[in-house]
Structure 1
């Protein structure tokens, strides 16, 4: 999934940031070109008037940074304000606040900044410490909006929050369901040694594996500097049917681990979280590996149905222009902001307050998300608008196809056992 995008000159990036983003930062990652986006060129509608402010918890600090959130933010704001006509005609302004996912106090500080800034919603940029902000946001009547709640406590309740993608448990269940269907019964996965990783792995992965008949083991590595050869050796012990990463802060981790798994002779199914850069780097060595996503990604563009195929081209165009890091977090952030705006436009919101925004988003039904499935939000037991997820298999150099030809629906009965998952 992870395509690097073309770097734009610093002045152009600065101009884009100054136009529509508060506290904007650039990313120095190099990149290559994306898919042809000529079909995405349209005469757009430019937003005017007073901006509508939204906050963004951006994991741009500390050892577990996610650079794609910044690229996706810049690209989405450009697209929304210059093509979509903003939020019912008014431009969106992102109040960006950098967080360190190893320090909950940074999330708390950002939540307080959003209250002071008068934002109408706070965007969860895949913050594993998002629960730290919930009491502050709820008290101020500022809804929390995202795609996947990386914090299990945040995802356990529907109060004052909406997530356009599936819960983390859906990815675990969907992936293991597929392994079982393929006759695979053992799985070893690694994750950065962070508190939320232990909650997900220890609290969800092992019990779900037992319920689905999969022998599951977990391995942790230091987020600041893993020894990839040692990690790959540990993952390959016992020759599990599948091994790899359930989540990754960046594609570099996926690429180095995938290369190390092959170098130590692992022949099973490599599972590389939501990464795609390793596909470009490893070529035929990556064939057979699997990745997950809540929506369609560039390597599978030829398999994507409409409107996802056209929307991918739009996203690629704007992410290319933004420069910096592409990949899952860039496309995910682009999708969150676009779904947020399209949802409010569909609901015809004109009085922008936190409660009005929350009511509008929870009222979405049969809503076509930008890169994912149709959504129905506002369920009383979950903040997530869907449980559907995509699992991709690398089939040839630099391409993937969805396993099962489309979205996978994890077992509702299994999900019911997990707070907030169904």
Structure 2
């Protein structure tokens, strides 16, 4: 089942999600710090007299792509952990921040720094050179933890790397499960024409559709398409739902299908940046997905509301023109790293890299930050991957363009597991 092509293709899609998924990224700070949020309950600060627990944090902040807001969110999360959550069983949480530029050499340099400075865990924000770190981390007994693997090696390094969101494969399968729940029976799958897309459809999407009893047909399109032509071709097949995997062309594709007369559900991935640019009538029945509840969602579950409020409070001082989505990813990752260290550290103090590496293999919990469901690192949530978590949240814009989560979220993909 596992191939590097599928993992690499999803890596690019995931980067788009991290870097541009939030429609409010370049607006005011209302989504990051809603005026009606509740005051945070009193918390407990870490004990500054105790030795810190050190992790190494590596993140892409050089080269042609820079995701500095992931780091800023991570740092805000560490501050929240230390000021409000008691640190790591009283110990302050400390991070060695190391910037990468997408090259293997930069990531290896970070890995060496983490080993030399005796970090007990390597934590990834987003790093396209991360696969090169694996031999260094493994030789030092350091486990890798992150939100989503952007590279094939990290995606398949079972036993050495752990990522808290659902897997790449799950994202494709969840799309079909959600459409099935909305009574779809004939789904057109629109993908950019490249080897990754062909393999993804054959290995993941088509088998999942068979298990769900869905009829699907894939339409491969050029990287830059004439969507008047493409929409006519797709609709000639007569689908009652459309799944699009054309992130760069989402703004053109969605209105083209509507202009051609299609009124059914369209899934548009994490490309919520198109919402402010389209008329609400075009957005009716357009579905967007996220790994967890976003600050701009309406009707956020009560158990998640506190996480959103904490995130808003601890990122309220950051520049308003940054990416809320990137910051939430970093904040989430910091909280999960601290939770792992607390859970493992209840039995061993002081913590060591070897203890953390052994402990994460059986680590599980009831609820992740910004989610309603838990995680289990004792077995991959999709076979052959390093995913500990599962569950995507689907939402659709209302008349005011506010995203409202659909019922029964996150999506349960157990019926389509291989």
TM norm structure 2: 0.76
Is 2:131–2:153's contact at 8 Å kept on the other side of the alignment?
yes
Query: Following superposition of structure 1 onto structure 2, how do residues 389-400 of structure 1 map, counting pairs within 5 Å?
Result: 389-400=392-403
Name 1:25's counterpart in structure 2.
none
> d(CA) in 1 for partners of 2:251 and 2:65?
21
Deviations for 1:320-361, whole angstroms, at most 9, x for unmatched residues? 323352343321221121022123224425322112223333
Q: Partner residue of 2:16?
A: none
| Secondary structure in 2 matching 1:57 | strand
Cα gap change, 1:320 to 1:80, in 2 (>3 Å): same
* Aligned residue in 1 for 2:189: 187
Shift of 1:170: 0.6
Count of equivalent residues:
369
Of 300, 313, 317, 2:313 maps to 317
Q: Is the 8 A contact 1:187 1:217 kept in 2?
A: yes
Asked if structure 2 preserves the Cα contact closer than 8 Å seen for 1:219 and 1:235, the reply is: yes
Counterpart in the other structure of 1:355? 354
Q: What pairs up with 1:8-407 in 2 under 5 angstroms?
A: 31-34=28-31, 35-36=34-35, 38-47=37-46, 48=48, 49-101=50-102, 103-180=103-180, 181-190=183-192, 199=196, 201-211=197-207, 212=209, 213-218=215-220, 221=223, 230=225, 236=231, 238-239=233-234, 241-242=241-242, 244-245=244-245, 257-261=249-253, 264=256, 266=258, 269-282=265-278, 284=280, 285-302=282-299, 304-323=300-319, 325-347=322-344, 348=346, 350-372=349-371, 373-379=373-379, 382-407=385-410
Q: Say which one has the larger Rg.
A: 2
Structure 1 residues without counterparts, runs of 5 or longer: 6-28, 222-226, 417-422
114-123 or 258-267, larger mean C-alpha shift:
258-267
8 Å CA contact 1:3–1:326 kept in 2: the answer is no
Q: Is the 8 A contact 1:43 1:83 kept in 2?
A: yes
CA RMSD in angstroms, aligned pairs only:
3.1
Contact map agreement 1:275 1:328 (CA 8 A) in 2: no
1:69 shift after superposition: 1.1
CA distance in 1, matches of 2:107, 2:219: 31
- Work out the CA distance in 2 between the residues paired with 1:30 and 1:169: 32
What CA distance in whole angstroms lies between the structure 2 residues aligned with 1:63 and 1:99?
11
C-alpha change, 1:43 and 1:275, in structure 2 (3 Å) is: farther
| Aligned counterpart, 2:12 | none
User: How far has the Cα of 1:52 moved from its partner?
Assistant: 2.3
State the shift of 1:175 in Å: 0.5
Separation of aligned partners in 1, 2:389 and 2:404:
21
Deviations 1:71-104 (A, max 9, x none): 3223212212222122222222222222334x33
CA distance in 2, matches of 1:173, 1:220: 23
Name the CA distance, whole Å, in 1 between partners of 2:330 and 2:131. 19
Q: Is the 8 A contact 1:243 1:270 kept in 2?
A: yes
Structure 2: gaps spanning 5 or more residues: 1-20, 210-214, 236-240
Q: Deviations over 1:343-384 (max 9, x none)?
A: 322442532211222333333334321112122222276532
Q: TM-score, normalised by structure 1?
A: 0.76
Change (3 A) 1:189 1:346: same
